[in-house]
Every structure is written in structure tokens, then in C-alpha cells.
Amino acid sequence: MAQDFIFEKLRHDDATRARAGRITTSHGSFDTPAFMPVGTQGSVKALTQEMLERAGASIILGNTYHLYLRPGHVTINQLGGLHRFISWERPILTDSGGFQVFSLTSLRKMTEEGVEFQSHIDGASHFISPEKSMEIQAALGSDIVMAFDECTPFPATRDEALASLELTQRWARRSKQRLSELHNEPASAGPRITIVNPTQALFGINQGSTFLDLRERSLEGLIEIGFDGYAIGGLSVGEEKGAMFEVVSHIAPRMPEDRPRYLMGVGTPEDIVEAVALGVDMFDCVMPTRNARNGQLFTSRGKLNIKNSRYKDDSQPLDDACPCEVCRRYSRAYIRHLYMSGEILGSVLTSLHNISFYLDTMRVIRQSIELGTFSKFRDSFLSGLARGQD
């Protein structure tokens, strides 16, 4: 277990399972529940690191698969690790690469050992195993490392889900073994790699598709191995929203109280508020940035589509309740004009607003848990979203 990684539970909501806490890493601490903007290629699309800091991002996510292919983990390591490479001093979580290997690549061959796949960039063959994923993440030097898992495809039969979670279980054990070896015997990383962050924490990933007993079985196996935090994976992959919340409400309360709980790849602002109420502490999702580039804004009154001609002469901000720097300065009409003209600034402003809206929502969630008013906040937030735009 990583010694510099501390999770403190500061406050528990009385009416729900929501909790407020703080996670400390060797790159500083961040408050939970937390949203992690996704920095796929070492960049949260359209935003500078300064913008992220000003918007209040206290931890970001990097994608192991993308960084491994380009510019390569050895290059990043030789430049001092991911924090120094991208000039970001706050915490970083890296995913295991598994999700992208299974969703982006073709002609893969999966064995007990690992996965062989062809790069989506140039078709070159690569092989990733739990050990290799740990070597890449150790070279990147992120603060939170994710165990290498198979994201169970959806839909899956019970037998398929069982086989998949058992493989993930064996891979989780190998991940832990290899990461601790890399931290304790840095020379085992090979001559070209320096272990830049020996205090990395490791999270295990719960799988089991929508089968609740399999989810439990997966969790028990992970707890037996022992991780610094526990993630719920394999959701938001095409299942009905009801099925997703059935899994989260079943499994989140069974996860260790004294470790952070991370719901991977979820979701909309309302999904996040609901999952917080079920006891989840950490989130990531590409939705705020991806939707921003498609002209879809998240606001306190639901989604706003800037392409809509009704905003052509609209001098109001995107969201008059949003304190972000975009809403303080620019109008819907101007942002719509930028978007319609294909100006780069359009993506910058929409992305900055959406990320700010998510981070601000998390701040209000944390405040309301601390003040004991989370349920009240949740009701008014959800009814605000349901009012819709105009």
C-alpha cells in the first residue's frame, strides 16, 4: 500500500450515503466527492492547464493507452514524468489502458497473459499485460494507478461476465505484485526508466456486468488482494440507466468505508449527484469536454444547445447562475457565432464553461454534505435541471 496516500472521511450525510472527504497524495490533496477532467493525450481538450487550475480542477486523468502510443512512456519518463511533461503539479490518475485497448483497437488477441492489439494510429502491433500496464503507469508517475482489467463487454451472459471478472481478478493480483516490485526495486523497470513517483496508489476495479452476485464476488476478491481504493468499472457501456444505478446502489455501500470509491466514466451532472448520494467519491467523464465541442452546454437549467437559432440574438450568459469566467464575460449570441463559424475559441469557451459547471457542482455538493444540507441541494439541483432551457 502506498504510504503517502491518505483518505480521510470528513463528514457523512445523515439522510443519504453521501460522504465528504480528502485524499492526500505526494502531489497534494483534493477534496471528495471529486470530478476528474479527462486529459486523454496529456491535455484536457481545448483547455490550458492554467484554465483548469482557475476552474478549480484539483486532479486530472491521463489515458495510459494514448500516452503509451504517443509520445511513448519512455519519452515522458525521460522528460521527468507526466506531471513535469504537461506542467501540472496537482494529482493525476492514470487509467490502465484496458478500456481503450478493448474499445479502440482491432484484431486483438486476448490470452491469460495479456492483450495483443493493433494501434489505432498506425496499425502497429503491441502487447499489454498487467505487468506492462504497471510499467507504463510507473514511468508516467501518476499519483493513482489503475489495475489492468478487462472491461466486460455489454451485453454479456452470466458465464461470460464470470469468466471476465475472474480474469480481471487474476490481473489485479499481478498488477499489485508488479507495481510494488517497481516501487521497491526500481532497477526492475529497466535501464531507460526512472521511478519518478514511488508513492503511487493502486486502485482495483470491480467488474461483473449487471449481475449483482458477480459484482459482490468481484469486490470480495479485490478486498482480499487489498487496494488503496476501489473503482466500479464496466458501467456506462450501453446498459440502461436503471441497471447502472442498480449496480452502484448495490455495490458502493459494500465497498470499504475507509477507502475512496471511484465510479469510472460516469456521467451527466444528475448521474453524479445520484451516485454521490449512494456513497461514491470520485468521477471522470469525457462528456463535459466532448459535448462542449458539439455545442452542448450543461447548465443549472438543463442542457443548452448553442446551435439553436433562438440564441442568435441572445445577450445573456450561457448560465446566469454559473460563476465561471465564460459566463461572467461572454454572451450566448457570441459563443453561438464562434461555434457556427468553426472558430477554435468556440470550443475553448464551451469546454471551459462545461468543465467549470461540473467542478462548481462538485464544490456545492461537498459544501452541502459538510453543512448537512445535501438532500435539499439534490432536490433543488435536479428540479432546476428538469426546468429546461426557456
Positions marked active-site: 95, 284
- For Zn ion, the closer CB: 252 or 287: 287
- For Zn ion, the closer CB: 19 or 353: 353
Strand residue runs (E) in 137-292: 144-146, 201-206, 229-232, 261-263, 282-284
User: Could you tell me the smallest distance in angstroms from the CB atom of residue 224 to Zn ion?
Assistant: 45
Q: What is the dihedral of CA 370, 373, 379, 383, to 10 degrees?
A: -80
- For Zn ion, the closer CB: 266 or 327: 327
User: Could you tell me the smallest distance in angstroms from the CB atom of residue 39 to Zn ion?
Assistant: 20
User: Could you tell me the smallest distance in angstroms from the CB atom of residue 51 to Zn ion?
Assistant: 12
User: Could you tell me the smallest distance in angstroms from the CB atom of residue 361 to Zn ion?
Assistant: 11
- For Zn ion, the closer CB: 55 or 151: 55
Q: How many CA atoms lie within 13 A of 85 on its CB side?
A: 25
Query: 208 φ, ψ to 5°?
Result: 125, 10
Q: How many CB atoms lie within 10 A of CB 390?
A: 10
User: Could you tell me the smallest distance in angstroms from the CB atom of residue 303 to Zn ion?
Assistant: 14
C-alpha cell at 219: 469486490
C-alpha cell at 311: 440564441
User: Could you tell me the smallest distance in angstroms from the CB atom of residue 57 to Zn ion?
Assistant: 15
128 strand-pairing partners: 115
User: Could you tell me the smallest distance in angstroms from the CB atom of residue 380 to Zn ion?
Assistant: 18
User: Is there a contact between 151 and 101 (Cβ–Cβ < 8 Å)?
Assistant: no
- For Zn ion, the closer CB: 26 or 300: 300
- For Zn ion, the closer CB: 144 or 348: 348
User: Could you tell me the smallest distance in angstroms from the CB atom of residue 186 to Zn ion?
Assistant: 44
C-alpha span between 263 and 192 (Å, rounded): 34
Kindly list the distances between the CA atom of residue 145 and the CA atoms of 5, 7, 275, 342, 358, in Å, as whole numbers in the listed order: 12, 15, 22, 37, 23
Is 141 buried (19+), middle (13-18) or exposed (0-12) by CB count in 10 A? buried
202 strand-pairing partners: 145
Q: Which of 288, 254, 47, 284 is nearest to 142 (CA)?
A: 284
292 binds Zn ion (CB under 5 A): no
> Which of the residues 294 through 353 are near Zn ion (CB under 5 A)?
322, 324, 326-327, 353
- For Zn ion, the closer CB: 119 or 300: 300
Q: How many CB atoms lie within 10 A of CB 199?
A: 14
Q: Which of 219, 210, 275 is nearest to 247 (CA)?
A: 210
304 strand-pairing partners: 297
> Which of the residues 265 through 284 are near Zn ion (CB under 5 A)?
none
Residue recorded with cell 492526500: 24
- For Zn ion, the closer CB: 210 or 361: 361
Q: Could you tell me where the DSSP H helices lie in 278-343?
A: 287-293, 325-329, 332-340
User: Is there a contact between 352 and 324 (Cβ–Cβ < 8 Å)?
Assistant: yes
In the complex, which residues of this chain contact Zn ion (CB under 5 A)? Answer: 322, 324, 326-327, 353
